[in-house]
Amino acid sequence: MGGHWREAGVKWLLAVSSSVCIIVVLVIFAFLFKEAAPFVRDPGVLDLLGARWTPVSFIKQQFGIAPLVSGSVVVTLLATLLAVPFGLCGAVYIAEIARPLEREILKPLVEILAAIPSVVLGFFGLVVVAPIVKYVFNLPTGLTGLTGALLLALMAIPTIVSISEDAIRSVPRSYREASLALGASDIQTVWRVTVPSAKSGIVAAVMLGMGRVIGETMAVLMVTGNAAVVTLSPFDSMRTMTATIAAEMGEVTYGSRHYQALFWVGILLLLATFILNVAAQRVLRNHQRA
């Protein structure tokens, strides 16, 4: 009889521990909204839609997040564009073409890239990449969106490689064998049969990579120049949402308008990564089902 109570008690305890996850997520959302809410009444959420971000001003504080959003979007899209060819190619090579010995070396190497802390990559970007970008493109300064995108691509590649590789590996052997039996070569099979079958897994990999990139802080803070301009040119300095929070959070007084505006930026970031991650998971689940 005591055993029965113990069993029930343990189950209850474990369930409660699991609910901590839910609680933490809810608290994060609730807390972010709570701190950002007063901004709605004064000066109003429409203020966020402006194109000037001047939170510190003698004339008028302006909290337009357009430059921050454009900065994040340009850097993320460029990084994804740079990372996908390399990541996909790498994944296909590791999954299909590399010899087992090669695979044993390549996979840990990619994991090493994933393990390098963002601040170390940012430091490397500041000292090595920025001067190269400046020299190659003849720019006034190497602190540009492009430099940030290069570093972020490095961070996205491991994610894309590992998840795409899983997706490619999970394509049934029968597909490959059928293709080879019909006379197609190895390479033709890989690129015309295997990879298209793994398409949704690869899409999910790219989305997860994007999610990681959009949330990156330290590397972009150190190398993008942090200029709050709305611009589409990666050769300009730009300011991402993440860098804004990191740079300005320390100076805001609890409860001030600037504080609330930063929480709105945080909410936007959270929503963007949330949507990307949930969509990616859904795509992954569909792929696994198929």
Partner 1 sequence: MRRALTDIAVRWLMRCVTYFIVLVIAYIVIDIVWNGAPALSWTFVTAMPKESGAAGGIFPAIVGTFCLILGAIVVALPLGTASAVYLSEYAKNGRFTRMIRLAIITLAGVPSIVFGLFGLGLFVLFFHFGASILAGSLTLACMVLPTIIVASEESLRAVPIYLREGSLALGAGKWQTIRKNVLPYAIPGMLTGSVLAIGRAAGETAPILLTVAAFYLPRLPRSVFDQCMALPYHLYVLATQYPDADKIRLMQYGTALVLIILVLGVNLVAVILRIHFRKKYKW
Partner 2 sequence: MHRTVPVAAAVVISILMFGCTPAAQQGKAARAAGKSVTVKGSDTMVHLVTAWSESYMKAHPDAEISVTGGGSGTGIAALLNGTTDICAASRDMSPEEKEKAAREGSTLRETNVARDGIAVVVNPSNPINELTLEQLKKIFTGAYANWKEVGGSDGEIVALSRESSSGTYVFFQEHVLKKEDYTPKARLMPATSAIIQSAASDALAIGYAGLGYAADVGRVKVLKVKADAAAPAIAPSEDTVRNGTYSISRPLHFYTGAGVGPAADDFIKFCLSGAGQAIVREAGYIPVQ
Binding interface with partner 2 (CB under 8 A): 52-59, 67, 131, 134, 140-143, 221-222, 225-229, 236-237, 239, 247-248, 250-254
Nearest-approach distance from CB 24 to partner 1, in angstroms? 5
- Contacted by 274, from partner 2, partner 1, none: CB < 5 to 8 Å by type: partner 1
| Beta bridge partner(s), residue 53 | 63
- Nearest-approach distance from CB 14 to partner 1, in angstroms: 4
In the complex with partner 1, the residue whose CB is nearer, 53 or 60, is 53
61: left (phi over 0), alpha (psi -120 to 50) or beta: beta
Q: Does residue 95 interact with partner 1 by CB under 8 A?
A: no
What is the footprint of partner 1 within residues 153-212 (CB under 8 A)? 154, 157, 185-188, 191, 211
Closest listed residue to residue 279, CA positions, set 191, 207, 230: 207
Closest approach of Cβ 139 to partner 2, in Å? 9
Judged by CB under 8 A, does residue 51 bind partner 1?
no
Report the partner that residue 253 touches, choosing among partner 1, partner 2, none (CB closer than 5 to 8 A by kind).
partner 2
- Residue pointed to by tokens 């804004």: 244
What's phi and psi for 170, nearest 5 deg?
-85, 0
From the list 53, 231, 246, 21, the residue with the least C-alpha distance to 146 is: 231
Nearer CB in complex with partner 2: 5/254 = 254
Which of 203, 262, 283, 287 is close enough to bind partner 1 by CB under 8 A?
A: 262
**Quick one: 185 or 233, whose CB is closer to partner 1?**
185
Q: Residues touching partner 1: how many (CB under 8 A)?
A: 82
Radius of gyration of the chain (CA): 23
Rounded Cα distance, 228 and 225, in Å: 9
Task: Identify the CA nearest to 193 among candidates 213, 171, 215.
Answer: 171
Residue with tokens 């790219």: 206
- Name the residue nearer to partner 1 (CB basis): 233 or 255: 255
Among 49, 51, 81, 97, the residue binding partner 1 under the rule CB under 8 A is 97
> Which residues 1-30 are close enough to bind partner 1 by CB under 8 A?
3-4, 6-7, 10-11, 13-15, 17-22, 24-25, 27-28
> From the CB of 52, what's the least distance to partner 2, in Å?
7
Residue 234: C-alpha distances to residues 50, 56, 148, 211, 224 (Å): 21, 26, 9, 20, 10
Of 272, 270, 281, give the one whose Cα is nearest residue 29: 270
Q: Which does 58 bind (CB under 5 to 8 A by kind): partner 1, partner 2, none?
A: partner 2
Residue for token digits 């990879």? 195
